[in-house]
Amino acid sequence: MPKAVAILGAAALPVGKWQTPSDSPTQLLEHEVLASLVVDATRDGGVERTDIGSLAFSLPRPYTQQKYFGTFMANYLRLPCGACVSETMGNGMTAGLAFEAACNEIRLGRTKVALALGINFETATSAAEHMMRSMRTTGDVDFHVPFGFTPISWYAMDAARYIHEFKSSREELASVAVKNRRHASLNPLAQFRKPITLEEVLSQAPIVEPLGLYEVPPRSDGAVCLVLADEDVARASGRPYVRIRGRGFYHEGAHQINEIPNDMIALLAARTAGRSAYEEAGVTPEDIDLAEVYAPCTIIEVLVSEALGFAPRGKGAAMAKAGETTLGGRIPICTSGGLQSRGHPAYVTPFYSFVEVMDQLRNRAGQRQVQNARLAVTSAELGNYNAALVHVFEAVQ
């Protein structure tokens, strides 16, 4: 049987603007920032450097000056590894796949302790350069890129379709942004912490109709280190930990948006991966206490909540407006503040979801603590959920 894997410790940089301009006389270097988080995370997990057998990095942004980042970091940290040192790339799922790589080294018995870690610095890079890179990496060069089809455009089309098909409204979708900002106001890691009202959300300039400024993610910098361990190691530590109870993955065989007509707001990949994760965990959506989902825009949180079984099809937006997904509601979603308010350093965003779930399940989330939280779900996506990675986590005291 594969070995059970636990999250034993974590450390994270508050999401914000950290990257220094290339012409600045003093540079904040990614490897120095990440190294300090490794020290903090291993202390949090109670492991020694000699216990670590694998390093699984999310690939840093192309603007990072140090190339071949993972092997450089192994040297910088003076961490010889007998299992594997790797860097993973998968668009918004990058950190999720790095997390999987670290877990697999433990499941295969190659090491008892592994780090899943990464850094995403981008905010001092010009918007024009960043968007050109984004379109070339997330779009089909024959279909999307020539027309300047940006990622937010996908989500805006989802929103327009959802409002049309289910007689929803901009107000219902915008309520997600208000809820997420309230959660972010309680999260010291969040990029934007000032509460906002529904009126303020609706009055913002449109980014791509019908989504306004507060309904889309900011550009963000961030960094995270997670300590993963064989459950025997976690149990012997005597510390509370979080067990990975179920996992599911599905790729539709489509690149971002498929040129073959399909139901664009069904999120088939999230539905399929979610069913697999629930089945492996032996639970149902009704058993879950909170969810931390990858949702760049408000509409995607709504669609994921439906795909993962927390709301009937077409009812997710109304459920959010009714307060069911807020702290104290039936199923709190994105207690961290979500991607619109906690922030979205894309290549490490799923790591922040794991940090939030770990804090919640270890009862150390402070004012945003979900009472008696025992089971949590996370999701990560590639583009417009053409692929999804879903985990079910369980608290172990």
Q: Which of 119, 72, 113 is nearest to 95 (CA)?
A: 119
| Sign of the four-CA dihedral 211, 213, 219, 225 | negative
Q: What is the DSSP letter of 213?
A: G
Average pLDDT over residues 14-34: 94
The reported pLDDT for the residue numbered 145 is 67
| Displacement of CA 153 from its chain's centroid (Å) | 20
Angle at 110 between CA 104 and CA 116, to 5 degrees: 45
The reported pLDDT for the residue numbered 7 is 98
The reported pLDDT for the residue numbered 91 is 86
More confident of the two residues 66 and 189: 189
Q: Which residues contact 257 (CB under 8 A, 6 or more apart)?
A: 144, 154, 264, 383, 384, 386
- Assess contact for 182 and 326: CB atoms under 8 A: yes
Helix (H, G, I), strand (E, B) or coil at 244: strand
Q: Which residues contact 339 (CB under 8 A, 6 or more apart)?
A: 217, 294, 295, 296, 297, 349
The reported pLDDT for the residue numbered 260 is 75
Q: Which helix (H) or strand (E) holds 35?
A: helix 30-45
User: In the chain, pLDDT over 90 holds for what percent of residues?
Assistant: 84
**All structural domains of the chain:** 5-125+220-237 (3.40.47.10)
pLDDT band at 131 (very low <50, low <70, confident <90, very high): confident
Integer Rg of the chain from CA: 20
pLDDT tens, 247-285?
999 999 888 777 777 898 999 999 999 999 999 999 999
Residue 187 has pLDDT above 60, yes or no: yes
The reported pLDDT for the residue numbered 111 is 97
SS3 content of the chain, % helix, strand, coil (to 5): 40, 20, 40
| Sign of the four-CA dihedral 145, 93, 269, 288 | negative
The reported pLDDT for the residue numbered 291 is 98
Q: What are phi and psi of 118, to 5 degrees?
A: 175, 170
The reported pLDDT for the residue numbered 63 is 86
The reported pLDDT for the residue numbered 13 is 98
Three-state SS annotation for 37-70: HHHHHHHHHCCCHHHEEEEEEECCCCCCCCCCHH
Residue 146 has pLDDT above 90, yes or no: no
Q: Which of 395, 375, 387, 242 is nearest to 307 (CA)?
A: 387
The reported pLDDT for the residue numbered 73 is 97
Average pLDDT over residues 201-217: 96
Average pLDDT over residues 123-144: 75
pLDDT tens, 362-386?
999 999 999 999 999 999 998 889 9
In the predicted model, what is the mean pLDDT of the chain? 94
In 145-267, where does DSSP find H-type helix?
151-166, 170-184, 198-203, 231-237
Q: What are phi and psi of 249, to 5 degrees?
A: -140, 145
The reported pLDDT for the residue numbered 59 is 95
pLDDT tens, 157-176?
999 999 999 999 999 999 99
Helix (H, G, I), strand (E, B) or coil at 357: helix
Helix (H, G, I), strand (E, B) or coil at 10: strand
pLDDT tens, 235-245?
999 999 999 99
Residue 1 has pLDDT above 70, yes or no: no
